[in-house]
Structure 1
């Protein structure tokens, strides 16, 4: 007879024969008493709305005492599923194997299976209990589930695809391969469709679980919906031990040359991943310049080096990857179709460390580099890439160069017009002409006021930009701010820090209104009554026809 024990003192059942012997007749508490015990009711509102049974709740907290009691009543289906996530009590028990609650985890798994729990049920995103055991790296759960009959290479084709019972979808794309248990411990994890437990363990970086699954017969080169392999998952998961295990498994080596449907190989992901994994793949003979061959894909033609050069995050790691790839012979000048070359991608994305490494190794020519037919410094200023601007100026780029389309913008014009204050300061510190005129006489301060870029206006004024400067149509910065409704800029020009304010009653000679307009006139013409009020109060005059409109 098995008697009731406390939550943390339940005995572990030693083998399958023991757990099969656990039946309702072995439970000492009468079923009638259990049915009326309020502690066995589901009380959480969110659990009630999701159709949790008391068995789900007990399994979720690994309470073997309650599980035994509930099973003795035969009131609840052992394979009942929740409404939203379509999870069974066995799903819940396995997901709770992270020691948060303690309890006899393996004993509970055996107990549920002995009472008829399906070992291979799919939740709403297609995952089985074995998927979750692999995801969590719960080795004892993985081993027990397989021992009891779980299919080791079961895929997770989502339930919607199986029987239309659930509307939850799987993510497709790079992030989908790595996504795990999201939204809390009670949520189902979304992995790519057709992912096996081996995919999941590799993605999560659980090398021991990977070894165990391989020992149990998992296919080393199984494919998910996009032809991704466990090795692809391991590379994306950045686990050197997982990748080494898959590449050196004696029962069958993982292939480094398996392409996904989008044409990606593991080396392409490694370019932006763990440098140690990248080195391992290169050691295994991977071609570092192999390109993604998928004409219909956005990444067609890219290499591992181009992926690293285009990266904008984890820059210390990326710098190491670029160094590794260059030392292995990767070509920074390899044409990648519309994307240019890896070197140009580094310049375009603001990846200073990659660009510096390439130039220091003498592998590219900065003087001939163009991005969309413009010099890299002009593009960097437009994009607000302050560090790239510093780097390019350091390497000899002219801080006052002009755009190539005849409009004669300088990098400072671009930085000011796009609101890149930090970049503007870098350019000014490097000697940029603060009063440079473009094709129609506009200066950087005009551009900042035209676009309402408050911080750039402030920095240009601090750098002594001419607050009264006029363009070829006699527009001052104040005219631009009023015409385009930038209240804060108008106020800043009227009350600059430590400067004389903008002159009032200056009239244009062209443009909006046919010329002969004050700033107040332009504000009135464009319907910015709040700006008109500010300007008139400051002493800027409205023309007679505008006065009549106001009086009317």
Structure 2
């Protein structure tokens, strides 16, 4: 069956890390406050004069030789241009001063990094047209970007946005034209992969004031007139590491010629689609934007992005413009399936009215829209889930469709994917003709799903509608055995397993049926320590079988295993499993990662990996519960971790990550 404790543990780890991070931030803030009160912060006299907008004093100080490049976080010149409150006369005085550096970066501390910008960028951000004119006349460099500089500067500054990007993002035709006339790079790419054209139309939402939309369109039109590429999907950076020496244990799926990309892969039209900016989309399409262009990665089209953002007006507009309603992404999902994942009723209704195929399904997991609205619904979305179920059923969806693994919507509604005990979704499907005894590729039925979750009312409904209590799954187990084994936490899964076991027995389930290991319901309940279920089964005459086979599959895990999660070549994970049921875990920085740092920083990086392993739990004991590997850890954050596991062809698979046996341990 299926389990989600591992994801739950990861979630808990994330919460605890955030709490610790918040505590550390508070502590560092208090220290900073102590420093503020301990000593007076020095501010250059020239900057104070600029703050006061005192033209005569600024002129006097410059004549007296004041440092015109002085800093108090921002430079004197940035302080003069970053708002519209300072007189242009002060800006002129500074620009004409001997030794002025008109491109000098300011440095404004912001926690873990400093924000640095040039006077030109500061002036454009402020919409200070007069200051921009003066700076450009003096030869300010137009293609510099502002930067994030790490407090501990190991990898150097991270370039962000140019002056032209800020001008375009403000919808300022005047500033945009001024910068273009001075040679601003019209295709320059920001850290998140945006060009000036994307800034012009990609930051405007459907609820923006009309004047904002109008200015955005005018600015974008200017950029296009001046040669901006309408379908540019470039990345902010592309770094290729050639001939990398991969460490021992690297899976064959890791390419030694690694390409690391920055942000990007999105077109201007895609930004307008996800923001619902129809006027911007119209301009781009009129100028030749490709309506079926797909984003790098998941291959979503503008229509899919509009669907995912719940922008119904944009969805209709793109369809009116000829968008392909059945286009699919990398996993084979189309717009209707994306809408069903998000439980967007109005979007789904619109797509169906416009001709979407209600029976489309995602090939990789075999789920159709009906399954999605059951599987992805949160506890507070039950009514919306039922509403969308009825929508798809009324539009002719195949209720008994079986996905890639043979699962049906009824199986989803009976247990898998259902976070409440309410049997209403299963009842709707049965009323509409769902077949109660279909089995998936593992031999599981809807009743077994309900048994696995401990959903008593759903199980009762299924039995009343003809569910066969004696059908067996691929392991030879019936619904009674499934409920008795209860491989999930009995208290936290919203189920009542002892009551369910009694129900199945009262309805005639064979109490002493055996699985492929000759295990009975009683032996499974005993093995998993479920005392209340054992009591119910014993009272009803349950027995164990002396011929029950001992499961020795766990011996295959003994050894030292190394691998890389998600083919990440920077982290080497090592698990050691011993025959005495103890385990240890290490995570190490690979040589590839260490090469990115100066040797003086290697110890810091190595120690951080050790701390990371300790946080997750780096040793403990292990046991097996059905197909699950249970790791008891020494970590406060993750006292228990649960993995799906198997050993095959000399490789250990833990939740999809492959580890290679590097050494046999005892």
Give the aligned partner of residue 419 of structure 1. Answer: 377
Mark the CA change 1:219 to 1:480 in structure 2 (over 3 Å): closer, same or farther.
Answer: same
Mark the CA change 1:109 to 1:448 in structure 2 (over 3 Å): closer, same or farther.
Answer: farther
CA distance in 2, matches of 1:527, 1:329: 55
Higher strand share: 2
Matched, 1:357 2:328: no
Mark the CA change 1:411 to 1:424 in structure 2 (over 3 Å): closer, same or farther.
Answer: farther
Deviates more, 1:282-291 or 1:198-207: 282-291
Q: Secondary structure at the match of 1:326?
A: helix
Q: Which has the larger radius of gyration?
A: 1
Q: CA deviation at 1:199?
A: 0.5
CA distance in 2, matches of 1:45, 1:500: 63
Give the aligned partner of residue 327 of structure 1. Answer: 286
Give the TM-score normalised by the residue count of structure 2: 0.51
Q: CA deviation at 1:500?
A: 9.9
**Residue from 73, 93, 98 that aligns with 1:147:** 93
CA distance in 1, matches of 2:419, 2:129: 53
Question: Any gaps of 5 or more consecutive residues in structure 2?
Answer: 1-29, 148-158, 205-212, 239-260, 506-510, 512-520, 536-666
Mark the CA change 1:245 to 1:471 in structure 2 (over 3 Å): closer, same or farther.
Answer: same
Mark the CA change 1:209 to 1:397 in structure 2 (over 3 Å): closer, same or farther.
Answer: same
Q: CA deviation at 1:527?
A: 5.2
Q: Secondary structure at the match of 1:50?
A: helix
Give the aligned partner of residue 438 of structure 2. Answer: 471
Matched, 1:121 2:79: no
Give the aligned partner of residue 221 of structure 1. Answer: 142
Structure number with the bigger relative contact order (C-alpha 8 A, sep ≥ 6) is 2
Q: CA deviation at 1:349?
A: 4.0
Q: Secondary structure at the match of 1:511?
A: coil
Asked if the contact 1:468/1:476 (under 8 Å) is kept, the reply is no
Higher helix share: 1
Give the aligned partner of residue 303 of structure 1. Answer: 267
Asked if the contact 2:217/2:279 (under 8 Å) is kept, the reply is no
1:503-552 alpha-carbon deviations (Å, 9 max, x no partner): 99973522376222327x53534154437993324633474435766369
Mark the CA change 1:503 to 1:528 in structure 2 (over 3 Å): closer, same or farther.
Answer: farther
Give the aligned partner of residue 480 of structure 1. Answer: 449
Give the aligned partner of residue 186 of structure 2. Answer: 257
Asked if the contact 1:436/1:444 (under 8 Å) is kept, the reply is yes
Q: CA deviation at 1:393?
A: 0.9
Mark the CA change 1:267 to 1:402 in structure 2 (over 3 Å): closer, same or farther.
Answer: closer
Give the aligned partner of residue 545 of structure 1. Answer: 523
Give the aligned partner of residue 106 of structure 1. Answer: 54
Question: Any gaps of 5 or more consecutive residues in structure 1?
Answer: 1-43, 57-79, 81-87, 98-103, 161-165, 171-189
1:181-213 alpha-carbon deviations (Å, 9 max, x no partner): xxxxxxxxx24xxx3122022124344543454
**Residue from 403, 418, 424 that aligns with 1:453:** 418
Give the aligned partner of residue 382 of structure 1. Answer: 341
What pairs up with 1:18-417 in 2 under 5 angstroms? 47-50=33-36, 53-54=39-40, 56=41, 80=42, 88=43, 93=48, 106=54, 110=58, 118-122=67-71, 127-140=74-87, 143-144=89-90, 147=93, 149=97, 151=100, 153-156=102-105, 158=107, 168-170=112-114, 190-191=115-116, 195-211=117-133, 213-214=135-136, 217=138, 219=140, 221-224=142-145, 226=159, 228-236=161-169, 238-240=170-172, 243-248=173-178, 252-253=181-182, 255=184, 257-260=186-189, 265-274=195-204, 275=213, 276-283=215-222, 284-293=225-234, 296=238, 297=261, 302-309=266-273, 311=274, 313=275, 315=276, 318-334=277-293, 340=299, 342-343=301-302, 345-346=304-305, 349-350=308-309, 352-362=312-322, 364-367=323-326, 372-404=331-363, 409-417=367-375
Give the aligned partner of residue 524 of structure 1. Answer: 485
Matched, 1:515 2:477: yes
Mark the CA change 1:385 to 1:130 in structure 2 (over 3 Å): closer, same or farther.
Answer: farther
Q: CA deviation at 1:413?
A: 0.9
How many pairs are equivalent? 421
Mark the CA change 1:507 to 1:169 in structure 2 (over 3 Å): closer, same or farther.
Answer: same
Give the aligned partner of residue 593 of structure 2. Answer: none
Asked if the contact 2:136/2:182 (under 8 Å) is kept, the reply is no
Asked if the contact 1:94/1:129 (under 8 Å) is kept, the reply is no
| RMSD (Å), alpha carbons | 4.8
1:78-103 alpha-carbon deviations (Å, 9 max, x no partner): xx3xxxxxxx36698589x5xxxxxx
Q: CA deviation at 1:47?
A: 4.7
